[in-house]
Structure 1
Amino acid sequence: MATNPRDQRLTSGVAQAIKESLESNDGYFHLKNRGIVISAKSCTYNNKTKEVTINFTDDMLHGNIDGGHTYKIVCDHRNDNLDQYVQFEVMTGVEDIIEKLAEARNTSVQVDEKSMAELKQKFDPIKEGLEGMSFYQRIAFKQNQQAFDDNTNKKLKMIDAREVVSIVNMFNIDKFDSVTHPIKAYSSKANMLDMYLKDPEYYRKYVNIMPDIFDLYDAIETEFADAFNNTGGRYGRKKYAGYKDGKVIGTSKFGLQKIKYKIPDGLIYPAVAAFRSLVVYNSNTDKYEWKNGVNPIYVWDKCKENMTVQIMNFATAIGDNPNAVGKDSNIWNLAYMTVLLQQGTN
């Protein structure tokens, strides 16, 4: 269950509906239920014994991606003599996209929660902080929200509000410090949304630095690969880089700047969160601000080569798996200390 992005709450309305559907014993459970999605190293079928063998080799990459509630409820009823079936979908070769896959598959409860939050105007503090940003109209605060380009009338690529909330929460100095890092911002957007919804008004304290946070994110995404290459690294050789002989392969997430390399979130998030060490609270304004008025991008410019080398060396050491990097507290700590030490040299 380590691959499943959220804990299973069997008292929730969703869980109760699954339980009632299973206990109805109508023979249609496999049609009414989304089933269970498994990531595995391999999956084989023996024609003679009529048995399927599913092989797991890494607990963080192989296991239940979606259907955790279904799995636990079915297990609780396996001795109840029910004439029901459940669908199993086994995926192999998805290790490199396991986090994105899990997040995409686990959307129903989270999206509904997000939409209800928007209906209750819970995102107003985020809107206050980001309303003037170029990407503001692309933030999807509710399910199926769309935006169109004013000139071409083409659909714009939307940004899930849960991701915006997660990035802001990486600068929550009341919850996270030099020892406790916001790893959940990467591994569980639902967890970060829950944290936000407990006290949305608290986040008005961040409205002054929110624009800088996302400008910083864009700077790191667009400059990460070049910073590493400037030290003698070869980022383009990484299989997740998407490099195509210097051609533009896409745009950055927030600034929509042209990029030649893909930088996985597992590498970006620890780097961005490291600048939390620059945040201080001003009791006079009841707002958070940057320590000594420093621009975080200025500090990034000073330490980006050192930071990218450390992150990439760490990634190489653990098998060039960005997903594993994003979940490892060691790299979050290392990046944080890099920014902290840089402050002392300015």
Structure 2
Amino acid sequence: MSVTKTMYVKENSFRKLDDPFNSLAKKYVFYVKICDVPDGIPMATNPRDQKLTSGVAQAIQESLESNDGYFHLKNRGIVLSAKSCTYNNQTKEVKIDFADSMLHGNIDGGHTYKIVCEHRDAGLDQYVQFEVMTGVEDIIEKLAEARNTSVQVDEKSMAELQQKFDPIKEGLEGMPFFSRIAFKQNQQAFDEENNKRLKMIDAREIVSIINMFNIDKFNSMTHPIRAYSSKAKMLELYLEDPESYRRYVNIMPDIFDLYDAIEMEFATAFNETGGRYGRKKYSGYKDGKVIGSSKFGLHEIYYKIPDGLIYPTVAAFRSLVILNEQIGKYEWKNGVNPITVWDKCKKNLTNQIMNFASAIGDNPNAVGKDSNIWNLAYMTVLLQQEMN
């Protein structure tokens, strides 16, 4: 449902910035007085839940209530994605259109926004900064994740300092991508042979993918959708009991080999059913040219597979996991190789996911958050295994 919000902005505080690479993308920056901030801005695009009792929230509230006139400088502000943003020089008003609640809304600064809304009638002489981006729908999930890293990164770094990632290191040490996992803030890896920095993989993503196979927390009815929508929540889940993740050590390498196979073969499998994946605006397809490399195996790829499509697909193979109680470790049912099952059901599985995506507007972000597709994918893999 389309939502429009209007707020008063002094003319000399409104700035429009053109994107240096994308002529369709724009950024608008401006200050708004606390009493003029509207309520009802969509929040579905923000990957975090807002806990107003947290230390971060309390610090924001104290800064605002100090009424020192510096809140707009000390606070990072509120970041929005929108369909359009226009400024009326005569009325001194900014109008922001949120056409799609899954793509447009608050992507960072959710705590600030909620606290500001609670203080609109407090008579404070404070301002808050707004940053509005348009034309960024194709990267909304990555943008939201990147803008919501400060607290998560600190938690990750502290976990590494306390050696809480040791169970994951036990399971993945020796994998080709192991040296590229960033277990702490600003961690880097260098390719000496080619004299270049390697692209790092955030440890929170590793944790999220492993948790998609957590059969203690998730089952055929409850799916790890938060693995896609909130890496912070998956890190919290992991840190509740890191030692319990030693149960995964026997299947961890297979999980990431499976992820790599799905990333490389998803589009081709769909095309073999008569689909045209390359026509999707998010596919990145360029007339059969290599457009990048797979996340873990660094194999050449010709299509981009958004996380909203790949996460439910990978998570579906949780249906093949059982606990070997004698050794206290997870293993695959009947010793099956998950890639073998993927080979048998990939055409059916990708076709179902892509048909579902088309039915809801070809929005991978919406697919990644829809429990129906997680359930459909899970049951497809489960039935394939039962047929064998």
After superposition, residues 136-285 of structure 1 pair within 5 angstroms as 136-285=178-327
1:163 & 1:285 partners in 2: Cα distance? 27
1:23 to partner: Cα distance: 2.0
State the Cα deviation string for residues 13-38 of structure 1 (Å, max 9, x = none): 22222222222222121111110011
Structure 2 residue 162 is the aligned partner of structure 1 residue 120: yes
CA RMSD across the alignment = 1.0
1:137 to partner: Cα distance: 0.4
1:50 to partner: Cα distance: 1.3
TM-score (norm 1): 0.98
Structure 2 residue 337 is the aligned partner of structure 1 residue 292: no
Asked if structure 1 preserves the Cα contact closer than 8 Å seen for 2:190 and 2:197, the reply is yes
Asked if structure 2 preserves the Cα contact closer than 8 Å seen for 1:96 and 1:323, the reply is no
State the Cα deviation string for residues 106-125 of structure 1 (Å, max 9, x = none): 11011001111111111111
SS state at 1:263 partner = coil
2:81 & 2:196 partners in 1: Cα distance? 35
1:51 maps to which of 84, 87, 93: 93
2:277 & 2:98 partners in 1: Cα distance? 30
State the Cα deviation string for residues 122-180 of structure 1 (Å, max 9, x = none): 11111100001000000000000001113123110000000000000000001111111
* Percent identical residues: 85
Structure-2 residue corresponding to 1:12: 54
Asked if structure 1 preserves the Cα contact closer than 8 Å seen for 2:215 and 2:321, the reply is yes
Structure 2 residue 108 is the aligned partner of structure 1 residue 66: yes
2:184 & 2:86 partners in 1: Cα distance? 41
2:143 & 2:245 partners in 1: Cα distance? 29
State the Cα deviation string for residues 273-327 of structure 1 (Å, max 9, x = none): 0000000000100000000000000000000011111111111111111111111
1:243 & 1:137 partners in 2: Cα distance? 29
Asked if structure 2 preserves the Cα contact closer than 8 Å seen for 1:38 and 1:90, the reply is yes
SS state at 1:280 partner = strand
1:86 to partner: Cα distance: 0.6
Normalized per residue, the structure richer in strand is: 2
2:283 & 2:202 partners in 1: Cα distance? 23
State the Cα deviation string for residues 250-278 of structure 1 (Å, max 9, x = none): 00000000001111111100110000000
2:343 maps to which of 295, 301, 314: 301
SS state at 1:87 partner = strand
Asked if structure 2 preserves the Cα contact closer than 8 Å seen for 1:265 and 1:326, the reply is yes
SS state at 1:81 partner = coil
1:331 & 1:10 partners in 2: Cα distance? 32
SS state at 2:190 partner = coil
User: 2:267 is aligned with what amino acid?
Assistant: A
User: 2:135 is aligned with what amino acid?
Assistant: G
User: 1:293 is aligned with what amino acid?
Assistant: G
How many residues end up aligned between the 2 structures? 346
Structure-2 residue corresponding to 1:318: 360
2:117 & 2:44 partners in 1: Cα distance? 17
SS state at 1:45 partner = strand
Asked if structure 1 preserves the Cα contact closer than 8 Å seen for 2:102 and 2:365, the reply is no
Asked if structure 2 preserves the Cα contact closer than 8 Å seen for 1:128 and 1:207, the reply is yes
2:374 maps to which of 332, 342, 345: 332
User: 1:28 is aligned with what amino acid?
Assistant: Y
2:386 & 2:236 partners in 1: Cα distance? 35
User: 1:266 is aligned with what amino acid?
Assistant: G
Asked if structure 1 preserves the Cα contact closer than 8 Å seen for 2:263 and 2:305, the reply is yes
1:58 & 1:236 partners in 2: Cα distance? 24
Asked if structure 1 preserves the Cα contact closer than 8 Å seen for 2:250 and 2:329, the reply is yes
Deviating more after overlay: 69-78 vs 174-183: 69-78
Unpaired stretches in structure 2, ≥5 consecutive residues: 1-42
1:133 & 1:179 partners in 2: Cα distance? 32
SS state at 1:316 partner = helix
1:24 maps to which of 39, 60, 66: 66
Structure-1 residue corresponding to 2:30: none
Unpaired stretches in structure 1, ≥5 consecutive residues: none
1:39 maps to which of 50, 74, 81: 81
SS state at 2:127 partner = coil
Structure-2 residue corresponding to 1:134: 176
